Amino acid sequence: MDHPGKRKPIFMTIKKDQYLNICKPNEACLMCGCSLVETLKHPSMIKSEESDIIRKDFCPECWKKIANRDYFSWWIARRILPDRKKKISRKERDDLLLRFFEYIHDLPKPWDARQEYLLYFLAHLLMRYKVFIWKGTRTSESGPEESDAASGETHKPFLTFENRRTGQEIQIPDQELDGDKVSEVKKEIDEFLASNISTSEEDIS
């Protein structure tokens, strides 16, 4: 069988309106039905059938089996995979992050270590996205930073934020930066966003 690149095509004249009527690429091979989008590149040809100009697309394997190649033209078509990354608006992102923060914040206290670090990370994200305002640091949820004179210990400080939307003041325990914990909570937040939006997923980095 001749290699398609060496075979001389049948020359014919195509009118302008016939060019415009040539159909878009087929999604599947016309012989075996496999996806051509996933193939990325495949042979395509244009041929005349009765009075119409027809485009036909085949996977590389089926192209080798075609006996009748009286095409007007053929080429290797290149396909681009559809962008499966969905888009999310800033408002949707902010709403979801705030909802996640409020859900954890409303859990019964005392919060465990994972919950505290999630609150810490989410609060800073929400401040970055201008949903929260930084207000300051306190040693307890009700007072300024101070040391326990009897024990000589300094109480774990609380970070204070204000929700711009409601004016509510929010306090969460401060945390030490830890690369492993940051990676873990970032992954959990990304998964939360991906599973709670119908139109998108966005990496928070």
Total number of domains constituting the chain: 2
pLDDT exceeds 50 at position 158? yes
pLDDT exceeds 50 at position 195? yes
Same domain, 94 and 190: yes
| Residue 150 falls inside a structural domain | yes
Domain extent, residue 55, equals 16-78
Residue 128 CB: number of other CB atoms within 10 A? 11
Same domain, 97 and 187: yes
What SS3 class is residue 169? strand
Q: Which residues of 159-176 are buried (b: 16+ CB within 10 A; e: fewer)?
A: bbbebeeeeeebbbbebe
pLDDT exceeds 80 at position 93? yes
| Residue 202 falls inside a structural domain | no
Q: Which of 27, 45, 78 is the last residue of a domain?
A: 78
pLDDT (tens digit per residue) in 173-189: 999 888 888 889 999 99
Same domain, 134 and 63: no
| Residue 125 falls inside a structural domain | yes
| Residue 190 falls inside a structural domain | yes
Q: What is the DSSP string of 142-164?
A: SS---B-TTT-PBPPPEEEEEET
| Residue 159 falls inside a structural domain | yes
Q: Shortest CA distance to 204 belongs to which of 83, 101, 114?
A: 101
Same domain, 96 and 26: no
| Residue 114 falls inside a structural domain | yes
pLDDT level of residue 56 (50, 70, 90 thresholds): confident
Same domain, 192 and 112: yes
pLDDT exceeds 60 at position 14? no
| Residue 136 falls inside a structural domain | yes
Which are the contacts of 21, defined by CB distance < 8 A and separation ≥ 6?
52, 53
Same domain, 47 and 107: no
Same domain, 153 and 101: yes
Which are the contacts of 89, defined by CB distance < 8 A and separation ≥ 6?
none
| Residue 7 falls inside a structural domain | no
As given in the structure block, the two tokens for residue 92 are 């949707």
**Which residue's structure tokens are 């992954």?**
187
As given in the structure block, the two tokens for residue 22 are 């040539």
Same domain, 68 and 119: no
